[in-house]
């Protein structure tokens, strides 16, 4: 809860994670998104700002729908929070909106769903563009096989087989609302929405799906991996470059501004939002 005399402010944030060792502030000298954003906001507030985020992304992972909040006694216009932060931020972090929230709002604990997209560039030749914003896979991938395998994961399951060893979640049981696999020219997009995610869960799912899409394993292998509940049965963890936190959802009582569901280079594909 925000203390008396404080305002609770929520922000929409997007960033390219390539240069950062993840969201969470770490030891001195380690570049993180949290510290970078806190430093910029502290200049706007002319006092220290401490942030809470909806989802702590890993090193190299991007966001275009991150939600954060902080408490402050400083009065600034919403435009001042946005423009002031952006003036003080590097080119790869941007604040997209600001809104004063009720004291019981919390960016992380009040979130009811999170949505990620994993973008694969599927071509024999390595791309020169977006090389840290997409994952390149040179093997021809069968999207229909990947989409069929993905359906084994929809629903409420024990996702231990897709959980990193250092995961701190209390339970491996999560509800996965949808997992769509679509092709758009050379790009394949995995669109995944769940109540919450385990550490490396999306990247481990992506690794299994690409293995199935290449024909190395049958479609039914996804079911076997899921039911094994053993991480080593699922193969490699996919690279972080293609992973984006694209949306965080809250109950209707928290009316947050809406923006496009990114990343920005996919906004022309209307069928992704189906």
Q: How do residues 192-241 score in pLDDT, each as one tens digit?
A: 999 999 989 999 999 999 999 999 999 999 999 999 988 888 778 999 99
Is the pLDDT reported for residue 274 higher than 60? no
* Of 92, 118, 151, 141, nearest in space to 246 by CA: 118
CA atoms within 13 Å, Cβ hemisphere of 163: 22
Based on the residue annotation, tell me whether 58 is a catalytic residue of this protein.
yes
The pLDDT of residue 3 is 56
Least confident of 3-12, 96-105, 242-251: 3-12
Average per-residue pLDDT in the chain?
92
The pLDDT of residue 268 is 77
Q: Are 225 and 217 in contact (CB under 8 A)?
A: no
Across the range 101-106, mean pLDDT stands at: 95
The pLDDT of residue 26 is 87
Enumerate domains of the chain plus CATH numbers: 7-109 (3.30.70.580), 112-244 (3.30.70.660)
Reported as a single tens digit per residue, the pLDDT across 30-61 is 999 999 999 999 999 999 999 999 999 999 99
Q: Are 15 and 83 in contact (CB under 8 A)?
A: no
- DSSP label at residue 62: E
Is the pLDDT reported for residue 272 higher than 90? no
pTM for this model (two decimals):
0.94
* Of 202, 183, 194, nearest in space to 269 by CA: 183
Would you call 107 helix, strand, or coil by DSSP? coil
Reported as a single tens digit per residue, the pLDDT across 174-205 is 999 999 999 999 999 999 999 999 989 999 99
User: Is residue 116 marked as binding?
Assistant: yes
| Cα distances (Å, whole numbers) of residue 137 to 79, 256, 258 | 41, 36, 32
Across the range 152-166, mean pLDDT stands at: 90
Is the pLDDT reported for residue 1 higher than 60? no
- Report the DSSP beta bridge partners of residue 68: 11, 53
Q: Which DSSP string do the residues of 162-178 spell out, in sequence order?
A: G--TT---S-SEEEEEE
C-alpha span between 199 and 110 (Å, rounded): 19
Check 58, 71, 92, 123 and give the catalytic one: 58
C-alpha span between 147 and 191 (Å, rounded): 11
| Cα distances (Å, whole numbers) of residue 93 to 30, 43, 67, 271 | 16, 16, 13, 28
The dihedral sign for the CA sequence 136, 166, 26, 108: positive
Backbone dihedral region for residue 157 (phi beyond 0: left; psi -120 to 50: alpha; all else: beta):
beta
Is the pLDDT reported for residue 11 higher than 60? yes
């Amino acid at each position: 809860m925000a203390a008396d005399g404080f305002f609770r402010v929520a922000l929409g944030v997007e960033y390219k994670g390539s240069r950062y060792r993840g969201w969470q502030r770490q030891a001195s000298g380690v570049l993180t998104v949290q510290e970078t954003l806190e430093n910029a906001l502290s200049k706007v507030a002319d006092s220290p700002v401490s942030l809470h985020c909806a989802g702590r992304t890993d090193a190299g992972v991007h966001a275009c729908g991150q939600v954060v909040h902080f408490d402050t006694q400083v009065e600034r216009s919403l435009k001042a929070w946005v423009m002031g932060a952006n003036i003080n931020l590097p080119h790869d972090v941007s604040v997209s909106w600001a809104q004063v929230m009720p004291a019981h709002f919390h960016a992380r604990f009040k979130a009811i769903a999170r949505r990620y997209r994993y973008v694969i560039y599927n071509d024999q030749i390595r791309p020169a563009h977006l090389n840290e914003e997409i994952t390149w896979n040179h093997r021809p991938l069968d999207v229909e096989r990947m989409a069929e395998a993905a359906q084994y994961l929809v629903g409420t399951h024990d996702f231990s087989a897709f959980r990193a060893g250092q995961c701190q979640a209390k339970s491996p049981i999560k509800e996965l609302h949808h997992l769509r696999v679509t092709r758009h020219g050379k790009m394949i997009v995995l669109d995944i929405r769940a109540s919450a995610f385990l550490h490396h869960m999306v990247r481990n799912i992506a690794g299994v799906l690409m293995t199935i899409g290449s024909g190395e394993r049958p479609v039914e292998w996804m079911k076997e991996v899921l039911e094994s509940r053993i991480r080593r049965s699922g193969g490699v963890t996919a690279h972080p470059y293609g992973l984006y936190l694209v949306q965080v959802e809250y109950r209707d009582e928290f009316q947050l501004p809406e923006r496009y569901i990114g990343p920005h280079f996919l906004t022309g594909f209307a069928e992704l939002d189906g």
